[in-house]
Structure 1
């Protein structure tokens, strides 16, 4: 059985928890990080003081998107295209997610941790930056239904997690129809509903 280490209110832990359900893999999740702190044993496995990490037998791995790729390559290759160009295009959006996270951070923290909304200047500035980046994603989704190619795959997971936050926090958002349609399809997936669409706090 795979062990997933991390608190579920972490975006990066949500990615892996959702992926494990998509892959129908048995796993145990153990809370660590944030309000749970870190044990010396965990820090020996992942010295970055961050979550998540996984243990798969004797093998351990940290860095959420690396974990997604490992799990798909080992257990669910159908979630990764056989075409190198399609796979690389999906990987691009997985890595792009970290830039989006930077843009949305002040809006997320302001709304979720400090009770602010879009009327706060710092929140508004961050929300506008996030919206501009989501317009780029909307244009991509106008050309294809999934970031992974012709079907859902692991490249949809990182930005899928952040899409929920984008639509959930109390800020002004532009109308991005292709993004909204993709988000609606994600919400129909049981793993997304149970692991991602939870309270943000």
Structure 2
């Protein structure tokens, strides 16, 4: 049994749910964060001093982890070594590279547009923040499109842990009510990963 705390509206929680579903893990999820609270309670902070979501407890191993991409890595390493977690070092670290890039580069670039479009009332939206976010993000989308013109998946020839966080980010960016440039290779890849059975209930959910 894997216990997960976090609301599904969180991109970081979605990554963990998708990974667990790909791996066939029995998951018990408790809404937490935002209006659901819990994250400032003493027990939660004892396991996750960051006070954010997600948090997992793996009852089989006694492991408690926070930070979404390390959680995805852990689950894939534990349940799919040589599969979603590549064993050969070049592929593994290509996957690691793109996972870190999603969290440190792509996510910060797109954050303001998401917050303004989805979580800010229309009368209070800051168009300058949206425009700046678009200006940062669209070159990264072009970079992804060029990368995926050379290979079918983020880390090479097959679906790995790297495709999960990047897929969640593309779901969020393309879900915003704004125009976007055609990216044929990125679209081809996203159509593949978003229709995987493991992505059901994650990439088919509206943004909130």
Same fold (TM over 0.5): yes
CA distance in 1, matches of 2:115, 2:84: 32
Q: Structure 1: where are the runs of 5+ without partners?
A: none
**In the alignment, which of 99, 102, 105 is matched to residue 97 of structure 1?**
102
What does the per-residue CA deviation read over 1:29-66, in whole Å, with 9 as the maximum and x for residues that have no partner? 01111111122211110010111111002211111111
Q: TM-score, normalised by structure 1?
A: 0.95
Paired positions, count: 201
Q: Greater shift after overlay, 16-25 or 35-44?
A: 35-44
**Alignment partner of 2:49: what SS?**
coil
Flag the 1:40–1:196 CA change in 2: closer, same or farther, 3 A: farther
Flag the 1:130–1:153 CA change in 2: closer, same or farther, 3 A: same
2:89 equivalent to 1:87: no
CA distance in 1, matches of 2:111, 2:179: 15
2:141 equivalent to 1:134: yes
Q: Quick check: 1:127–1:172 contact (8 Å CA) kept in 2? A: no
Match of 1:190 in 2: 197
CA RMSD for the aligned pairs?
1.7
What does the per-residue CA deviation read over 1:42-96, in whole Å, with 9 as the maximum and x for residues that have no partner? 1110010111111002211111111111111111121122220111111110000
What does the per-residue CA deviation read over 1:124-172, in whole Å, with 9 as the maximum and x for residues that have no partner? 2212211111111111111111013211111101110010011110122
Match of 2:183 in 1: 176
Flag the 1:75–1:7 CA change in 2: closer, same or farther, 3 A: same
**Alignment partner of 2:65: what SS?**
strand
Match of 2:6 in 1: 6
**In the alignment, which of 95, 101, 112 is matched to residue 106 of structure 1?**
112
**Alignment partner of 1:13: what SS?**
helix
Q: Quick check: 1:3–1:27 contact (8 Å CA) kept in 2? A: yes
CA distance in 2, matches of 1:196, 1:61: 23
Match of 1:75 in 2: 79
Runs of 4+ in 1 over 3 A off after TM superposition: none
Q: Quick check: 1:100–1:133 contact (8 Å CA) kept in 2? A: yes
